[in-house]
Amino acid sequence: MRLIMLGAPGAGKGTQAKRIADKYTIPHISTGDIFRANIKNETELGMKAKTYMDKGLLVPDDLVVDIVADRLNQRDCDKGFILDGFPRTIPQAKALDEALQVMDITLDYVINVDVPDEAIVKRMAGRRACSVCGATYHLKHNPPKKEDQCDVCHGTLIQRDDDKEETVLKRLTVYHEQTKPLIDYYTKKDELVTVDGTRDIDLVTEEIIRLLGD
């Protein structure tokens, strides 16, 4: 099963990607994780990416695609993968298509987790993260056992800057400008399936599995 997960920030695509990866025993591939791993291991691609990141510059699309393609070439991807957070733009999607063609890999589905902006702003406002171990919670949907305290390490829970309304609205603006056009792009390629991400997490997972045919 070879998949791409799309959705606005806060739509829950990361959570669903992890669940689908576990269901089909395929790696959940986040570009952030790939970058960190390459930089930590001081690979040639990682060092190239680091030169841009250290200057506060965006890593060029062709280098990002090279790093993603290198990850997809690893043995654990033989039975499939789920890409989370990439591609983010039409140029990246086209470059990924070319790379997959060279690798003789065909995507099965692109899953779009659809949540309206106003629901995302409310959802993100309830998010909390542990200041020590990074574990995440939601005041309504996944509350900690003890208020403002992490269940795992008992660290203090905080609201990250990324989850504050002003920041969320800015991130959504970027999403609509750069990433949302991918919905039309993959629809025209007949690869897109859309699920209603406003419902209970388990129901969203069940619908995705149904749409994937299992």
What percentage of the chain has pLDDT greater than the value 70? 100
Average pLDDT over every residue of 126-135: 91
The model's pLDDT over 144-189, given as tens digits with 9 standing for 90+, comes to 999 999 999 999 999 988 888 998 999 899 999 999 999 999 999 9
Residues 6+ apart with CB under 8 A from 164: 125
The residue from 88, 122, 164, 180 that is catalytic is: 88
Active site residue 160: yes
Average pLDDT over every residue of 79-91: 93
pLDDT of residue 192: 96
Kindly tell me the sign of the dihedral angle through the C-alpha atoms of 168, 28, 53, 66.
negative
Q: What is the mean pLDDT of the chain?
A: 92
Closest CA to 135 of 112, 155, 164, 120: 155
pLDDT of residue 7: 94
- Domains of the chain and any CATH numbers: 2-115+179-211 (3.40.50.300)
Task: Judge whether 130 and 21 are in contact, CB under 8 Å.
Answer: no
Enclosing H/E stretch for 47:
helix 44-53
The residue from 19, 71, 123, 127 that is catalytic is: 127
Average pLDDT over every residue of 207-213: 92
Distance CA 7, CA 1 (A): 19
Active site residue 128: no
Active site residue 171: yes
The model's pLDDT over 37-50, given as tens digits with 9 standing for 90+, comes to 999 999 999 999 89
pLDDT of residue 55: 85
The residue from 2, 50, 122, 171 that is catalytic is: 171
The residue from 122, 160, 164, 180 that is catalytic is: 160
pTM confidence score: 0.84
Active site residue 127: yes
Enclosing H/E stretch for 74:
none
Active site residue 88: yes
